[in-house]
Amino acid sequence: MTQQNSNIYLNALLKGDEKIIVKIYGDMLPKVVSFIKNNKGTQQDAQEIFQKALYQLTARVKIRDFEINTSFEAYLFTACKNLWRRELNNRKKEVRNDGVFELVSEERDNSNAVLEQERWELFEEKITLLSENCKKLLTLYFKKTSYKAIVEKFNYANENTAFQRVFKCKKRLADLVKLDKRFQELC
């Protein structure tokens, strides 16, 4: 049913079916507005991000034969969250460089955003293939938790054991990503 609904929405986007696109706005924009307003943004920001996400999604379907495996709503919300992080980062960069920043064409910027979303999906897909223990361990490790704290949390014998476990999980994840043909195109 979820896949079927996703296909209905994707087909509507491909055909530019205004009636269903209006429904997408009505059903899904409020959640995005709420997220963006709670994260330093405005209603107008949310609307722009939502439009970009729909625009870029359509390109993926047209050019890449992309299909959504989760629900359309979940996909769109994640894509909007990622685009908003990207936008906040770009705004910070503009402030840091005092108005001088790299000019990228609108087309190239949209293409980059599509590929960044694909990279995000590649990483998520590979993380789900790890054991639960590895996922927890890597989450702590990448959040810069000390090996000492990891030893305590996982009841490891010592920091060397923690290091060995983290290393194995990192290697497994890196190998999974690198073995995927998308790695060369996206990373």
Per-residue contact flags (x/-) with other proteins for residues 156 to 175, judged by CB under 8 A = -----------x--xx-xxx
Question: Between 2 and 160, whose beta carbon lies closer to other proteins?
Answer: 160
Contacts of 66 (CB under 8 A, 6+ apart): 57, 60
Run of H or E residues at 78: helix 72-96
The one among 71, 88, 136, 161 contacting other proteins by CB under 8 A: 88
Question: For residue 67, which of 151, 140, 11 has the smallest C-alpha distance?
Answer: 11
Give residue 180's Cα distance to chain centre: 18
The one among 7, 69, 97, 139 contacting other proteins by CB under 8 A: 139
The burial class, CB within 10 Å (0-12 / 13-18 / 19+), for 4 is: exposed
Stretch that binds other proteins, among 1-9, 67-75, 114-122, 149-157 (CB under 8 A): 114-122
- C-beta separation of 170 from 141 below 8 A: yes
Residues interacting with other proteins, by CB under 8 A? 13, 16, 18, 21-22, 25-26, 29, 42-45, 47-48, 50-51, 54-55, 58-59, 62-63, 82, 85-86, 88-89, 91, 94, 99, 105-108, 110-112, 114-116, 119-120, 123-124, 138-139, 142-144, 167, 170-171, 173-175, 177-178, 185-187
